[in-house]
Amino acid sequence: MAETGASSLPAAPPAHTPLSRAAQFVWLTARVLEQRRFAHHFLGGAADPVETALAAYRNEDAGYGHALEPDLRGPVSQPLHTAHALRVLDSIGRCGGQRVERVCRYLTAVSTPDGSLPAIHPSQRGYPAAPFVPIVDDPPGDLLATGPVVGLLHRNEVWHAWLFRATDFCWQAIDSLRKTHPYEVEAAVAFLDSAPDRPRAQAAADRLGRLVREERLVCLDPGRPEEYPVAPGYAPGEHHFPYDFARTPDSLARAWFTDEETERALDHLTGEQQEDGGWPVRWRQWAPGTALECRPMVTIEALLTLRAYGRAIG
């Protein structure tokens, strides 16, 4: 009986590789969800255990809560938690069917009058949250929250009434960008990479890429970070690199950077692996638990990015 159970466990990666070092870090520190994601993406683990772990964060309103996104604590559903859940479902090929229909009902219920999503729904009030995510009674729609969700739903060919106005909001928000910051750019790219109108997405991405370079929102020389400004309100040293915008080579944002710039950034990402096997969190840390929970998530994303660009991870 013991041998049968052991044979179903994910295999260990080759020793003394970035992947094996990351595995030790994940098994030591990660939540069950990130452990199962790691096993699925890198060790041949099945998708069902990932979805089972994710279901623990789902609420009766079909949204997700319970600190799925670690910077928002407490049980209540939030758009940022739900966006995180959709990313997980997309990564295991489960972003469709009734599970997403339920999510869209939640998105409809918490949308602002213009059909978009607020960054933080007022229901968060009374529960701990990062100080850089203010809670207001009547929050406006936010590209940061709406863009990635709309992009993922289009990527998976989901059709729901909520998408129509939310898609219009994303186009209007991106078309009106004259000043921006890196996380907003990431949200715009997440939308543009999957927007159905490909010529319009290409044109918008070209303009956005020029803005990123003109505003120096990307650190193009990791060896000289002091030459690149950090966006207002960001943590000291919270720079963004080409791979933060172009997570995979087929992203529209990949064209913003030369091959040399991209390879230099990927060398930097490889070298960012810490002695304990994990990658560091660059944004502002405000509580010990959130830092501990975020690092395995960042580690998985770093490995996925390196692999997507053909870098050997083990």
Is the pLDDT at 2 greater than 60? The verdict is no
Give a yes or no: residue 87 inside a domain. Answer: yes
Over residues 180-217, the pLDDT tens digits come to: 999 999 999 999 999 999 999 999 999 999 999 999 99
Q: What is the mean pLDDT of residues 222-250?
A: 96
Q: Of 39-43, 54-58, 94-98, 260-264, give the lowest mean pLDDT range.
A: 94-98
Q: What is the mean pLDDT of residues 112-128?
A: 96
Q: Give the DSSP letter string of 91-157.
A: HTT---HHHHHHHHHHHHHH--TTS--BSS-GGGTTS-B-TTS---SSPPB-HHHHHHHHHHHHHTT
Give a yes or no: residue 2 inside a domain. Answer: no
Give a yes or no: residue 242 inside a domain. Answer: no
Give a yes or no: residue 258 inside a domain. Answer: no
Number of domains comprising the chain:
1
Is the pLDDT at 4 greater than 60? The verdict is no
What CATH number should be reported for the domain holding residue 125? Answer: 1.50.10
Give a yes or no: residue 255 inside a domain. Answer: no
Give a yes or no: residue 247 inside a domain. Answer: no
Give a yes or no: residue 175 inside a domain. Answer: yes
Give a yes or no: residue 8 inside a domain. Answer: no
Is the pLDDT at 88 greater than 50? The verdict is yes
> In angstroms, rounded to a whole number, what is the distance separating the alpha carbons of residues 8 and 120?
40
Q: What is the pLDDT of residue 8?
A: 64
Residue 301, burial from CB neighbour count under 10 angstroms (0-12, 13-18, 19+): middle
Closest CA to 279 of 262, 290, 291: 291
Is the pLDDT at 6 greater than 80? The verdict is no
Domain that holds residue 184: 13-212+273-308
